[in-house]
Chains A and B, each alone.
Chain A
Amino acid sequence: KNEVEQSPQNLTAQEGEFITINCSYSVGISALHWLQQHPGGGIVSLFMLSSGKKKHGRLIATINIQEKHSSLHITASHPRDSAVYICAHPGGSQGNLIFGKGTKLSVKP
């Protein structure tokens, strides 16, 4: 079964803390996406990666293809990072995205 598991489901942090969100998947994949969804509903694509590590500002995404695991790290977290973070990968028969349930992050000032 093609599943994407995220942990934790909910995360509360103090401003400045280092955040880690985990994503595990069950099948071999070609790429993994990390998405950010703010309370208004809009989704922004943060990263798409197929190996190693990518960095954008305070956000770092890593993936271990052999272990079928990816992590999203946020350094020096800020209240504006409060959002739902979703991982996804092309998993359908023709490449449609399959999504995790998301991790709701709340960063307190």
Chain B
Amino acid sequence: KAGVTQTPRYLIKTRGQQVTLSCSPISGHRSVSWYQQTPGQGLQFLFEYFSETQRNKGNFPGRFSGRQFSNSRSEMNVSTLELGDSALYLCASSRGDYQETQYFGPGTRLLVL
């Protein structure tokens, strides 16, 4: 079974631009969660999608948004990029029960200049 894939793996943007990251979950998984990891704050939850609906949302500004498609693939978008958005963005998939193991993708490393 293929694992969670994320594209692109690396990205360089400038302040004010917007970016879209993609996550393809493990086949059969309906839940996709997004996390931001920075050296200062560690891992922080962004949002979770289940069956094309946002089921849970972390404490991030509205510049961070996401969506999920009918095949469970998910995208997250960050508009008006700031220097502080430089981070590793990870997605994780599961079948959907909060008690389950989540399977993480390799991450997208975003650098904002």
Residues on A close to B: CB < 8 A? 30-31, 33, 35, 40-45, 48, 86, 88, 90, 92-102
Contacts of B107 in A (CB 8 A): 41-43
A37 to chain B, nearest CB (A): 9
Are B56 and A45 in contact, with the CB atoms below 8 A? no
Contacts of A45 in B (CB 8 A): 101-104
A97 and B99 in contact (CB under 8 A), knowing A41-B88, A41-B109, A92-B56? Answer: no
Are B106 and A40 in contact, with the CB atoms below 8 A? yes
* Interface size of B in residues (CB-CB distance below 8 Å): 25
Given contacts A42-B106, A42-B107, A96-B48, could you give 20 more A-B pairs where the C-beta distance is less than 8 Å? A33-B102, A35-B104, A40-B106, A41-B106, A41-B107, A41-B109, A45-B102, A45-B103, A45-B104, A48-B101, A86-B42, A92-B45, A92-B58, A94-B55, A94-B56, A96-B45, A97-B43, A97-B45, A97-B102, A101-B42
Q: Which of B43, B48, B100 has the most chain A CB atoms inside 10 A of its CB?
A: B43
